[in-house]
Amino acid sequence: MLVIEEKYKPIAEILLSSGTCLRCVLRFCCVGSPATYRLPHKELAEELGKFLAIDGDISPPSKKVRLEDGEGGMGEAQIPGDADDNSAAEAPQICNLCLGILQQHCSTEFVKKIFHKVQSAGYEFQDFVFPVSLPAQLLVREHSAWLQAQQEMRKQNRQFEKADIIQLKEAYKWIIHPMISEELGVQAVSKSLFEVGVVFCHHDTDEDCHFLATVCKDCFKPTKNKQSIYTRMAVVKALDKIKDDDFCNHFPWPPSSPQIACQVIDIQCNHGSVFVAGRYNKYSRTLPQTPWVIDGERKMESSVEELITEQLMAVFKADSFNFSSSGREDVDVRTLGRGRPFAIELVNPHKVQLSVQDMKDLQQKINNSDKIKVRDLQIVSREALAHMKEGEEEKTKCYSAIIWTERPIGKKDLEFLNDLKELKLIQKTPLRVLHRRPLASRSRIIHTMKTEYVDEHHFRLYLKTQAGTYIKEFAHGDFGRTVPNIGSIMKTTADILELDVESVDVDWPPALED
């Protein structure tokens, strides 16, 4: 049983007589029950016929029916048919408000088309979201119908706001979500990471919007990346501004009935990013963290990033990735200990569900390289990534270095270094990074140092420092740009021959059992 409030009768009549489809009539009569929109066309036509007290059986499509003479003297009106009724030879009249969206694009054929598209795209998903892009002129047509409806309601001394109308997108979802859901075998969920997006266009009526640009010039500014200035946003803004009279002069009621329905220009599948985190060790002094390319020429054959992501990309079947880490080491610096936390965003992955064992296998594959090792490899949430960067500046880092001194040294010359605690440095931006970082002075702390004598020109230095300390510069002084430095403290010229990161004190990602 169809429930429409009596007060909306004039709206239904005026829309039906102008070439609006039954479902759009429901929308403008503020029918908020999704089930009503899913009724087969024939049933809906009968119910609406009863409501409007139209004599006889109304059967679609495009059958001329006699409407009772209302206030406006309606005369003959057409009840446009839906595509559901393929049995009829006569093509259904395309709705002048939804341009066929609630007619042809709710059909089982269309849903099958979506299903095949999803299937051939080869995604793994547990639910879906169905974003729909509609042509902007639908807004103009909707506005036109709303003004008519509003006029009718005013005759009854009633308000009728645009927000009272059931949105086309809403009604469309009510009809099509259950159908897609059944085909795909999963639920529609508004926050789903798996998107099946449909883009509609209707070239025949594209010009509907154009008069708005002459009336509301400043709403339509050319924007980058947009093919047309008539974006939905601009049209909404213009419709909000334009005076009713101006609108009706430029866009008289009723809107034209199109010959063909909206066309689907694209059905696109996309899966939200998956994030994988872990910690890596780097054992090579000729391996940069990220690809090292200068003027299009590779300087090193591989990188930590590539060694890890090659395997991930293959398993997750993603389109692209973004690599990030808790700090970075120079190409000639090894990262030892428990390694450096990293995270990789896999963009548009086709595979998203990996078992604990799958992840272990993946980790093993990466670890077949002798240059790096990863541990604690796991899928994490986007939000959890923040932990990796959290307090990056306040954390401590531990290093070990081989230091060379010009002046011959004995074991006794090193002892005082072991006693220096919380040594404050001022470091000007190092010469070697000046080309990519602004010149600045900053202070850093060397918390503790420990030494191991090697020979009269070499010793090993263990350092615990504030994160972000330039260790190489602390060793050689960077032409006096870091003060104090090992050279100045030991009253000689010093240099650093080897550097290893011993630990990065970030407790993320969580350690996993081996």
Cis peptide leading into residue 510 (ω within 30°):
no
- Return the range that interacts with Zn ion (CB under 5 A); candidates 14-22, 195-203, 273-281, 440-448: 14-22
Residue with tokens 């260790």: 471
Q: How far apart are CA 108 and CA 116, in angstroms?
A: 12
Q: H helices of 137-296, where? A: 137-155, 168-184, 210-215, 232-241, 244-250
Nearer to Zn ion, 162 or 350 (CB): 162
Does 21 bind Zn ion (CB under 5 A)? Our answer is yes
**Burial (Cβ within 10 Å: 0-12, 13-18, ≥19) of residue 266:** exposed
* 166's tokens: 């059931």
- Return the range that interacts with Zn ion (CB under 5 A); candidates 68-76, 96-104, 204-212, 319-327: 96-104
Secondary structure E strands in 91-140:
127-128, 132-133
Residue with tokens 């009272």: 164
Nearer to Zn ion, 17 or 465 (CB): 17
Torsion sign (Cα): 21, 22, 23, 26: positive
Mask of contacts with Zn ion, 102-121, x by CB under 5 A? x-------------------
Nearer to Zn ion, 136 or 501 (CB): 136
Q: Tell me which residue of 168, 110, 102 sits closest to 138, measured CA to CA.
A: 168
- Return the range that interacts with Zn ion (CB under 5 A); candidates 95-103, 170-178, 209-217, 245-253: 95-103
Among 246, 319, 330, 505, the one annotated catalytic? 330
Q: Smallest distance from the beta carbon of 102 to Zn ion, in angstroms?
A: 4
Does 45 bind Zn ion (CB under 5 A)? Our answer is no
Among 98, 118, 385, 499, binds Zn ion (CB under 5 A): 98
Does 168 bind Zn ion (CB under 5 A)? Our answer is no
Q: Smallest distance from the beta carbon of 121 to Zn ion, in angstroms?
A: 30
Nearer to Zn ion, 61 or 487 (CB): 61
Annotation marks residue 330 as catalytic: yes
Does 95 bind Zn ion (CB under 5 A)? Our answer is yes
- Return the range that interacts with Zn ion (CB under 5 A); candidates 101-109, 202-210, 339-347, 471-479: 101-109
The DSSP symbol for 484 reads S
Alpha carbon 397 to chain centroid distance?
35
Q: Smallest distance from the beta carbon of 200 to Zn ion, in angstroms?
A: 13
Question: By the 8 A CB rule, do 79 and 63 touch?
Answer: yes
Number of residues interacting with Zn ion: please give it, by CB under 5 A. Answer: 6
**Burial (Cβ within 10 Å: 0-12, 13-18, ≥19) of residue 395:** middle
Report the amino acid identity of residue 47.
Answer: E
Does 307 bind Zn ion (CB under 5 A)? Our answer is no
Among 4, 12, 15, 24, binds Zn ion (CB under 5 A): 24
- Tell me which residues are annotated as active site: 330
Residues binding Zn ion (CB under 5 A): 21, 24, 95, 97-98, 102
